[in-house]
Amino acid sequence: MNNIVELEKIKKTYLQGKVDIPAINNVSLSIKKGGFVAIAGPSGSGKTTLLNIIGGLDQPDSGTVRVDGEKFETLTPSRLAELRLFKIGFVFQAYNLIPVLSAAENVEFVMLLQGIPKKERLRKAHAILDDVGLSGKYNRRPAELSGGQQQRVAVARAIVSNPSIVLADEPTANLDSKTGQGLLELMKTMNKEKKVTFVFSTHDKMVMDYAGRLVRLRDGSIFDDQSK
């Protein structure tokens, strides 16, 4: 099986007051292993919802989601949490680091949840922080790091335990263009060197340019899907 993500006829509607707002409308999408895919579209087009559905953070009203061969609708919440822990990495727009933990501890935390012994956690955390260009900043708390550095820690946390896929929700939205470009270079390198699949939601032109495949959404439907 070559596809890491398989979505079939996904529908998702949100209730806003008494009105149903369709967020995702009959979307089918497959993403290959090792892909560097951007899901683009204006605000409200459904890209974050789609990313959340792929990540198992949100459930579709109908349709089937498969990630790395696991069919979500058959999984218990506990098994879904395990899947997220071992197979999916997340990078959020607002970094979402744990403020009381240092950079290294933030990276370590996912491995702690996975039950990896402390020594190995520490070695891996330092190694991945070196890879993302944060050597010597292991003990800095998030408040002591710039936005770009925090997002690098978030990327390090997402990829440290070799997930099958990393989902990044507008990762460059809070960064200036230079820092954003640096981050994209980093993720591209990780994608090439570590064969990690990246899926972004974005409306940033730069991210779209970096993507190997660009899926465009409008009003909850795919209207364009191009591979470069």
Classify strands 3-16 and 62-67 as parallel, antiparallel or unpaired.
Answer: antiparallel
Segment near another protein (CB under 8 A); pick from 2-10, 34-42, 87-95, 170-178: 87-95
Contacts to another protein from residues 144-173, by CB under 8 A? 157
Question: Could you give the strand order of the β-sheet that contains 62-67, starting from the edge strand earlier in sequence?
Answer: 19-32, 3-16, 62-67, 70-71
The gap from C-alpha 20 to its chain's centroid, in whole angstroms, comes to 27
In 17-131, beta strands by DSSP E: 19-32, 36-40, 62-67, 70-71, 88-91
Q: How many residues in the shown chain lie near another protein by CB under 8 A?
A: 27
In angstroms, give the least distance from the CB of 112 to another protein: 5
Segment near another protein (CB under 8 A); pick from 28-36, 76-84, 173-181, 195-203: 76-84
What sign has the CA pseudo-torsion 202, 208, 212, 217? Answer: positive
Q: Does residue number 75 form part of the binding site for another protein (CB under 8 A)?
A: no
* Residue type at position 85: L
Return d(Cα 148, Cα 183) in angstroms, integer. Answer: 7
Binding mask 30-59 for another protein (x = CB under 8 A): ----------------------x--x-xx-
- CB-nearer residue toward another protein: 96 or 221: 96
Binding site for another protein (CB under 8 A): 52, 55, 57-58, 78, 81-86, 88, 90, 92, 96, 98-101, 105, 108-110, 112-113, 118, 157
